[in-house]
Amino acid sequence: MPRALNVLFLMEDLCFGGTQRQTLELARRLDRACFVPSMLTLTGETDLDAQAREADIALNHLGTSRRVAPFFFLRLGRALLRAKPDILVPCTALPNIWGRLWGRQGRSRRPVIVGTCRGGGSLKRQHERFLWRLTDHLICNSQALQQSLHALGVPAQRVSYIPNGVDTGFFTPGPDAPSQRQPVILCVARLARDKDHLTLLRAFEQVLRVTPQARLRIVGDGPEESRLRQWARSSAAGSRVDFFPGGPDMREHYAAARIFALSSLREGQPNVILEAMACGLPVCATAVGGIPRLVEENVDGLLSPAGDAGILARNCSELLASPQRCDAFGRAGRGKVERDFAFPVMVEAHQQLFLRLWERKNGNARRSAGA
């Protein structure tokens, strides 16, 4: 490879969120001898822009506010032509739709397009049934998504499962074991319908009947915030619920909790579960998407069906009543993350894929020229 490849990550925004943080960490850690990362967002400045610039990642915007720019799809084609990426990686729904369409414009210098599927609803939101053919390759962060893509007709050689990574040096167990902490249940997640916080709140009502000193700490931002706060105000359990805004560093929250809970209806592979496990927390979560790949029943956590507040409450109550079991689950989860989900593993898998796709494209181009 005679020069470093320009890798452009096309993002809807750089707000606090799992996909945004995961993509930023990938871009930050790419080997600069082989890759030059840059980012283009459909919005203006948002939460993680400063971190991108500190990592020397070129960053451009199509908008001027936190909202997606009006008529961004008309301006995106020209922006991609100016950027001249060798490899285009669209992330989340709108970039995956419009980035693929505009990325294939022109007859020369088309980039290698590496689509991404993250989260349980991504296949439908991104119209993968129709648009997967506009990619050279697809990356998904859970085996469940990989199987769903195969079911849509995507050939096995066009899909790679690359699990999310976590910084095991940054996210570490706190000074006190979970058994030594107050009975705090922590949920870190965007306040959106897919995360189904209402089921968690209803489960917490039942937890309080067994452990009246428990507290629920909900950390995040999103469109469901007013509805969730209204529920807390109208419920007797609401006085035991604390809301905190999202942010770039969740370690203070992980260090204050005894268990981590997630009640999602749909998921890919949640970063927050990896972070919680890296911090030595046991997990109570719903068995959806890639979560069963992360949480092993009765080893590092407990699983419940989506939407079932009763079983989620029972699982949380069991762990709150057994602090030593919390510690054992936490140690097992930390070991798993160190072994299977550290950032170097995730980054190296992306780098090898990018190089292989680039070499294949250029090999085909040379053969066509020779023909």
- Label each residue of 292-351 as H, E or C: HHHCCECCCEEEECCCCHHHHHHHHHHHHCCHHHHHHHHHHHHHHHHHHCEHHHHHHHHH
What is the model's pLDDT at position 105? 84
119 — pLDDT class (breaks 50, 70, 90): confident
- Interhelix angle 18-29/271-278, rounded to 10 degrees, is 70
For residue 269, is pLDDT > 90?
no
Is there a contact between 123 and 148 (Cβ–Cβ < 8 Å)? yes
Tens-place pLDDT, residues 4-20: 999 999 999 999 888 99
What is the model's pLDDT at position 306? 97
What is the model's pLDDT at position 121? 84
Within 10 A of 31 (CB to CB), how many other CB atoms are there? 11
Q: What is the helix, strand, coil percentage profile of the chain, to 5?
A: 45, 15, 35
Of 187, 181, 195, which Cα lies nearest the Cα of 216? 187
Within 10 A of 356 (CB to CB), how many other CB atoms are there? 13
- 8 by DSSP, 3-state: which? strand
Both tokens of 215, joined, read 């507290």
Separation between Cα atoms, residue 310 and residue 295, nearest integer Å: 19
181 to each of 214, 249, 256, 322, how far by Cα in Å? 11, 20, 7, 12
16 to each of 65, 109, 189, 217, 266, how far by Cα in Å? 15, 33, 10, 18, 19
Q: Which one-letter DSSP state was computed for residue 272?
A: H
Is there a contact between 110 and 87 (Cβ–Cβ < 8 Å)? no
Sheet containing 58-61: give its strands across: 58-61, 35-41, 5-11, 87-90, 112-117, 137-140, 159-161
Q: CB-based burial of residue 38 (10 Å sphere; 0-12 exposed, 13-18 middle, 19+ buried)?
A: middle
For residue 330, is pLDDT > 70?
yes
DSSP per-residue string spanning 83-144: H--SEEEE-SHHHHHHHHHHHT-SSS-PPEEEEEE-STTHHHHTTHHHHGGG-SEEEESSHH
What is the model's pLDDT at position 363? 78
- 177 by DSSP, 3-state: which? coil
- Domain locations in the chain? 5-165+342-370, 178-340
What is the model's pLDDT at position 1? 52
Strand 5-11 to 184-188 pairing: unpaired
Both tokens of 87, joined, read 């490899």
Q: CB-based burial of residue 238 (10 Å sphere; 0-12 exposed, 13-18 middle, 19+ buried)?
A: middle
The region, left, alpha or beta by phi > 0 then psi within -120 to 50, assigned to residue 273 is alpha
Averaged pLDDT of the chain: 94
What is the model's pLDDT at position 120? 74
pTM of the model: 0.79
For residue 371, is pLDDT > 60?
no
What is the model's pLDDT at position 106? 65
Separation between Cα atoms, residue 292 and residue 302, nearest integer Å: 10
What is the model's pLDDT at position 202? 98
Of 144, 142, 135, which Cα lies nearest the Cα of 115? 135
When comparing pLDDT for 269 and 114, which is higher? 114
Tens-place pLDDT, residues 75-92: 999 999 999 999 999 999
Separation between Cα atoms, residue 15 and residue 23, nearest integer Å: 12
For residue 144, is pLDDT > 90?
no
Q: CB-based burial of residue 206 (10 Å sphere; 0-12 exposed, 13-18 middle, 19+ buried)?
A: middle
Question: Do the first three CATH levels of 5-165+342-370 and 178-340 match, i.e. the same topology?
Answer: yes
Sheet containing 283-286: give its strands across: 241-244, 215-219, 184-188, 259-262, 283-286, 301-304
For residue 365, is pLDDT > 80?
no
For residue 370, is pLDDT > 60?
no
For residue 98, is pLDDT > 90?
yes
What is the model's pLDDT at position 16? 86
What is the model's pLDDT at position 367? 54
Q: What CATH architecture is 178-340?
A: 3-Layer(aba) Sandwich (3.40)
Please state the φ and ψ torsions of residue 105, each to the nearest 5 degrees: -70, 155
Q: What CATH architecture is 5-165+342-370?
A: 3-Layer(aba) Sandwich (3.40)
What is the model's pLDDT at position 107? 58
